[in-house]
Amino acid sequence: MVNLTYDIITERFQSFAEREQNIRVAIIVGSRARREKPADQYADLDLVLFADNPNSLLHHTKWLAQIGRYYLTFLEQTAVGGGIERRVLFDGGLDVDFACFPISAIAEMESHHQVLSVLSKGTKVLVDKDNIIPRLKKNIKANLIKNEIPEEIENMLHDFWYHAVLAAKKLRRAELLEGKSIIDSYMKHLLISFIRIHAKLNNGMEYNTWHAFRFVEEWADTKFVSQFKHIYAHYEEDDVWKALKNTMNLFHEVSIEVYHLKNIPYPDENIRYATHLVDSYYQGR
């Protein structure tokens, strides 16, 4: 019996995709397609498919048997692109993500920053029946630079401070887990977004900041990273309040620098008001 490997999975899937008329494009992205930070022993295999009917791949599993024996499979949101992927744990602990999109999604991806960022790091084309990939790759670099710094910085800043106040209200209500989840998830994503913008403004638009929280310890300013150990909490009320305050302080520090680098006025009055509300909820415990 042949031990399953990622190369075997790739070969079997490519053969399946070539026969399956529904699949028009199939590419490898992620660590198994890029030169920088290539796959290690823990890396998965990321496959992106464009199909006439992606639901037939997402919502049925019989076709997976043509690839190899598997033990676990489920659906979840893709990391970028706003799609759905079927994650599969094959024999040998081999993890494969099949992200399935309709053909119509290609036009949207040509201007989607996070998608372009992933593609710019490397792709391996397995199937391209309609010669679509060259068009998708065209002018990636120019589009990335054009879309690197979001225009909605002010919206993101107000979003963060609104949720700081909301988290404080949840803590006052004794909704400890709800408040903690806002602080440790929603607010952290906005914090990292601002740290990413800060890195781009300081190092140039082509500076690689990856996506989500990937490799943040390497690309983010060390003075911000050094404070991460203070912005997460145990499931304990005082510690959650402390994490909220420290997250607010770090975001304030980062956002002031971002606004300065962008040469736009910082909304001090708005931030003072939100901070005052959080302080009043904390002191009124």
Domain match, 239 and 187 both: yes
Contact 130, 24 (CB under 8 A): yes
Cβ neighbors of 256 (< 8 A, separation 6 or more) are: 266
What is the pLDDT at residue 145?
A: 52
- Give the pair of three-digit tokens for residue 159: 């979003």
User: Of 129, 146, 163, which residue is a domain's last?
Assistant: 146
Same domain, 112 and 65: yes
Number of domains in the chain: 2
Same domain, 137 and 11: yes
Q: What angle do CA 112, 115, 118 make, to 5 degrees?
A: 150
Same domain membership, residue 159 and residue 134: no
Cα 225 to Cα 158: distance, rounded to the nearest angstrom:
23
In a domain, 164, yes or no: yes
Same domain, 238 and 262: yes
Side chain identity at residue 35, one-letter code:
R
In a domain, 11, yes or no: yes
Measure the CA–CA gap between 243 and 220, rounded to whole angstroms: 20
* Closest to 187 measured CA to CA, from 227, 147, 158: 158
CATH number at residue 201: 1.20.120.330
pLDDT averaged per 10 residues in sequence order, the chain, 285 residues: 89 96 94 84 92 94 94 91 91 95 83 73 90 75 54 90 98 97 97 95 88 90 97 96 98 97 92 97 86
Handedness of CA 173, 175, 180, 186 (dihedral sign): negative
Give yes or no: residues 170 and 77 share one domain. no
In a domain, 179, yes or no: yes
Q: Looking at 146, 175, 206, which one is the last position of a domain?
A: 146
My answer on whether 16 and 141 are in the same domain is yes
Full domain range(s) for residue 209: 153-283
Of the residues 146, 181, 216, the one at which a domain ends: 146
What's this model's pTM, rounded to 2 decimal places?
A: 0.78
Kindly state whether residue 165 falls inside one of the protein's structural domains. yes
Two structure tokens written together for 91: 């024999």
User: Is residue 18 in a domain?
Assistant: yes
Cβ-count burial 194-220 (b if 16+ within 10 Å, e if not):
bbbbbbbbeeeeeebbbeeeeebeebb
Residue carrying the six token digits 């989607």: 112
CB-based contact 192:216 (threshold 8 Å):
yes
**Residue 27 sits in the same domain as residue 112:** yes
170 and 86 co-located in one domain: no
Alpha-carbon distance of 79 to 114, in angstroms, equals 9
Enclosing H/E stretch for 68: none
| pLDDT for residue 195 | 97
> Which CATH number does the domain housing residue 60 bear?
3.30.460.10
Whether residues 172 and 65 share a domain: the answer is no
> DSSP alpha helices (H): ranges in the chain?
6-19, 55-58, 105-109, 113-120, 133-137, 140-146, 153-172, 176-181, 187-203, 216-219, 222-225, 237-262, 268-283
**Hey, which residues does 77 pair with through a beta bridge?**
84
> Is there a single domain that holds both residue 34 and residue 86?
yes
Whether 1 is covered by a domain: the verdict is: no
> CA 70 to CA 67: how far, in whole Å?
9
The answer on 191 and 98 residing in a single domain is no
Q: Is 37 within the bounds of a domain?
A: yes
pLDDT for res 151: 63
